Amino acid sequence: MSKVTLPKAVISWSSGKDCAFALHQVLSQGRLEVVGLLTTLNQENDRIAMHGVRKELLLMQMAALGLSAEMVMLPSPCDNQTYLERMGCCIERLRERGVQQVVFGDLFLEDIRQYREGQMQGSGIDAVFPLWQRETGQLARDMLASGLRAVVTCIDRRVLSAGFAGRWYDEAFLADLPPGVDPCGENGEFHTLVTAGPMFSRPIAVQLGETVTRGDFVYVDVLPVPA
């Protein structure tokens, strides 16, 4: 009996809980062969774009996942044309490696989904959304019940007080969220760094560093705990 060949996929990786749980769902379903991550980094400071997470922590996540990453280096600031050109080159490299799908952790923002699908159009690679339209309150509880651990690395201070930055994403955090803030932060209210969960072979020990404010956002510099 011949072995079934699964479609090869990479996970669009921001270092946060949604992409990590999307990976967990894909692995649990067993319908795709996950061969790596796809992530963007700010080439000025070697950090994951938007989340502000150090590359060192990304490398630790990769080791705990047992996956390599295709890293797209972006200038800061980065205009949309530059982003599309560099991402397009990356997608072409993935296609040449036999990748057929990119998995995204998006939840319900239709314009974001359309943008992702537009990026993939004509590339021979499909966009996949395993968490799409799941009720985010229940999804947040499912993440925590799975053993996922994440620290909040960035908050939008227009909707959350600065004290939310650096907190653990847990039941207490969810209970303290103001009305109207999505439990998964899908509207950009906050971003996270995953440190443990069923997708990891081992947890990542972290400590909090300096907190800085840039425009509307408060960032906490999360550091690995020295061995």
Ranges of each domain in the chain: 8-224
Which residues are CB-neighbours of 23 under 8 A, at least 6 positions away?
Answer: 11, 34, 65, 103, 199
Do 147 and 197 touch, CB atoms closer than 8 A?
A: yes
Which pTM was predicted? Answer: 0.95
The confidence score (pLDDT) of residue 1 equals 54
Output the pLDDT for position 227: 72
Both structure tokens of 148? 């996922």
The tens digit of pLDDT for each residue in 24-60 reads 999 999 999 999 999 999 998 899 977 889 999 999 9
Question: Given this model, what pLDDT does residue 2 score?
Answer: 56
Q: Is-contact 88 114, C-beta < 8 A? A: no
CATH of domain 8-224: 3.40.50.620
Can you give the pLDDT at residue 204?
A: 97
Q: Which residue has the tokens 């969220």?
A: 177
Q: Which residues of the chain have pLDDT under 50?
A: none
> Which pLDDT score is estimated for 226?
85
Q: What DSSP string describes 110-121?
A: HHHHHHHHHHHT
CA–CA distance, 96 with 38 (Å, rounded to integer): 15
Residue 62 half-sphere exposure toward CB, CA atoms < 13 A = 20
